[in-house]
Chain A
């Protein structure tokens, strides 16, 4: 498989431009006609510390990171050479080379910067190279960059070198550089790119086989992350107000929206804390604007009070939750799917909210739009749950996927004409929370509308919004609010939001949610290719849970393996809770080391599970079925 695809990894120190260089590299390959996918790994540090990004590219669509990688560009960690006397940087300096060798596939390519890295510092380097049939191309990238421009342009030298080795046309890189760089930086960069490219061709005899294949797209492609598509979905659905507090990895969505909204006549507010952020979103929504807020686990915890208020007061709002590994501040820059139960059940009282979990970059756009449609259509809070992996990974998607009409419809609101006809309670108050509402959705009025004033309260209230503790009123209002989820479940069923993978009929099932969907899809294909009978489902609806679809899926298979990135099998638990059975059919494949699954880990885990064995030596855990 690796013969047909490029899995290029650029490694260096945080702050050395690894992210921007890899983004351009992926874009260049996309423009060259290939399908691309990136996977990021970075420490919770600003400058220095080992970081890498992988770009996987092939002629067919790519849905996940690969198994390991086959081309390493090790740039060195320039910040590990900080001359401050008191600073201790340990063995940081060599990490861009040393830390990446374990995952470099047999027959892979190594390009490293001899200006910053010395392979003699790595134990048994020569032996390992020989053992693994690696092809090593040492180059003093630092010196080249310094001689032809500035030392920071080492990245460009590295790109020129790997482009030469892989046979990628330089015009794509030049084009991208010209689009983003001012003239004084562009010229030396172009020179460095060509110089290194030519030097590599002249000086080295290529011993490796890997070349980038020819590709061509049927239609125009764009390179986007999950954070981008969540933001763009919100914009297209008419969201013009965002409030937030920075926290990794939610900050990405917040940043994109903060830059876009003023241009679109919207408002973005960075506020004092997450409680305020969510409360602001409620305030703006109440005043008649489509609004959102969001955070990551720790910040979302602070939002639990406003979230409950939104449920009780039926104030529509969209909150996005970008999961990172917990508990507490956990692994700030690493993905995990362990906040599922947190978003399902946080805040006091019976949960009456919608939780959606997009599975891919493209799906995140749809789910983001859907989140606003549901929030405003049903006057209910909607949480869009994703993780650091989905938020930060880049993928090519046809541009036409996003070519859709905007939808600024405010949903369940009245007009002033309707208010004249609407029932009003004692004190002239509009019946905002009427018992007889269709599908449980009682339309709201917006402050400033004549004849529409009413009281919103987080206390139990009567039809006019007045605080009311009467037991009959309580039961009626509770049942009305809860009944909205039935309508939403029906609506979502029609939208066909779950993603099916593999053949229609199969003996085994793979079940997943969120960012692991693409990886599971690839594993399903591989397993079927290897003679297994497997189908998969990527679930997007966490609340309300897609009971009918999941029951049908689980009844159709003998056994099913739930793949998720957490230690306690939260999604498996949710499935058993919601369906009330299938406990004897469901086993778990879990990973919670801060890295997302690789497809091979799922293949291996699956094979071990059906043979009733422990998962072999890798950082995943198999938990067998326990019965109902």
Chain B
């Protein structure tokens, strides 16, 4: 029996498997967009064909960080902004796992901004969901990196003097090979995009618009939106980087003007994932590293030969 027999199990997966049988009391506010992410994620899992024991969901801190309290899988509720480095190392240690990272806009674009840039650059084969509600929710309504310029909060009483972060453009520029935006108010599109992202072989970034009815009633996340991939108004090829960049800029500008554009902005299925790159240059084994610790027949090399060779 393999050490990881949950991986690649061939059976029908039921979305209910991802719901805790004794669900902990939800601490999200009524009407919170996070429910939409949770629902879409649960719906996506059967299509991706992964069971709870082969999924590792790594979250940061904040309302979004509670996602894995309500989602049944291997979970790692880590620390503010650090979900990506934890997630990508787990993927390197065992590429057979389905690795998902999730966090809020403060978590992902603020404190974890550096990790976001570098994880995208390396194109790790994983899915990154950023709950973007343009506000710090759990700390009670402070301005976040995606809050619009002029946004007033208790910590920015005169209104923010900063331009918001442009997450789609940032992901693209950094090298993400799949970039999408969806919204909690449309669970069908959200589910589709999540399935695609998980099936994508590379770093898939989803800017997930989630409404915060408690602290950010003014944000645009509630309004009807346009799916750029379906709309005839946008002549648009998501496999073309320049098109994608233009489209992303347009979406980021118009969001604050009341028009919400969602969908796949960029899909590059040619670019090898980081794991493939690393294997190609001989810096990563073909077999999952983690398997080796359970393989009684594996011959562990000792430093002694190396030592006699170099230091005698």
Contact = CB atoms under 8 A, between A and B. Distances in A.
7 contacts: A260-B303, A264-B301, A279-B79, A280-B88, A309-B78, A416-B5, A455-B68
A267 B92 contact: yes
A301 to B, nearest CB: 15
A243 B90 contact: no
Contacts of B75: 453-457, 465
Contacts of B115: 272, 276
Interface of B: 1, 3-7, 9, 20-24, 52-54, 56, 58, 66, 68-69, 72-79, 82, 84-94, 96-97, 114-115, 117-118, 278, 282-285, 289-290, 292-294, 298, 300-304, 306-308, 311-312
Contacts of B285: 265-267
B6 to A, nearest CB: 4
A396 to B, nearest CB: 9
Closest 6 A/B residue pairs (Cβ):
A283-B89, A427-B20, A448-B4, A426-B22, A288-B290, A279-B85
Contact of B90 (A265, A266, A287, A290): A287
A224 B94 CA distance: 33
A427 B53 CA distance: 13
Which of the listed residues A268, A313, A449, A466 has the most CB atoms from chain B within 10 Å of its own CB?
A449
A290 B311 CA distance: 25
A310 B119 CA distance: 22
Nearest to A405: B302
A451 B53 contact: yes
B22 to A, nearest CB: 4
Interface centre among A222, A231, A291 (most CB of B within 10 A): A222
Contact of B93 (A228, A271, A287, A403): A287
Contact of B118 (A262, A272, A289, A452): A272
A447 B56 contact: yes
A236 B303 contact: yes
Interface string A403-443: 11110101000011100000000111100000000000000
Contacts, number: 242
B7 A276 contact: no
A257 to B, nearest CB: 11
A255 B137 CA distance: 42
B4 to A, nearest CB: 3
Given A280-B85, A283-B85, A286-B86, A232 B307 contact: yes
Interface in A256-285: 260, 262, 264-269, 271-273, 275-277, 279-285
B311 A453 contact: no
Interface in A113-127: none
B135 to A, nearest CB: 22
B53 A275 contact: no
B77 A449 contact: no
A448 B3 contact: yes
Contact of A452 (B53, B89, B306): B53
A419 to B, nearest CB: 10
A607 interface: no
Interface centre among A266, A268, A281, A405 (most CB of B within 10 A): A266
B53 A448 contact: yes
Interface in A121-172: none
B176 to A, nearest CB: 15
Interface centre among A220, A240, A290, A454 (most CB of B within 10 A): A240
Contacts of A241: 89, 92-93, 289
B96 A448 contact: yes
A228 B306 CA distance: 11
A458 B78 contact: yes
A75 B74 CA distance: 61
A590 interface: no
A553 interface: no
A273 B88 CA distance: 14
A335 B116 CA distance: 35
